[in-house]
Amino acid sequence: MQVWEFTIDLFAAAHNAHTAKFYTKEQNALLQKWADEINAWANPPWELVPDVLDKVIEKATSITICVPHYPNASWFPKLMSLLEQDPMIVKNMNNTFLQGGTTARGKTPWGVTLVAKIGTKSPYLTKK
Domain boundaries, the chain: 8-119
Task: Provide the pLDDT for residue 95.
Answer: 54
Q: Tell me the pTM.
A: 0.84
Contact 112, 92 (CB under 8 A): yes
How far, in Å, CA of 87 to CA of 80, rounded?
Answer: 9
Q: Which helix (H) or strand (E) holds 88?
A: strand 88-91
Least confident of 58-62, 100-104, 116-120: 100-104
- Give the count of beta carbons closer than 10 Å to the beta carbon of residue 81: 15
Model confidence at 3, pLDDT cuts 50, 70, 90, reads: low
* pLDDT tens digits, one per residue of 8-50: 999 998 888 889 999 999 999 999 998 888 889 999 998 999 9
Rounded to the nearest 10 degrees, how much is the dihedral formed by the CA atoms of 94, 100, 101, 104?
Answer: -10
How far, in Å, CA of 71 to CA of 76, rounded?
Answer: 6
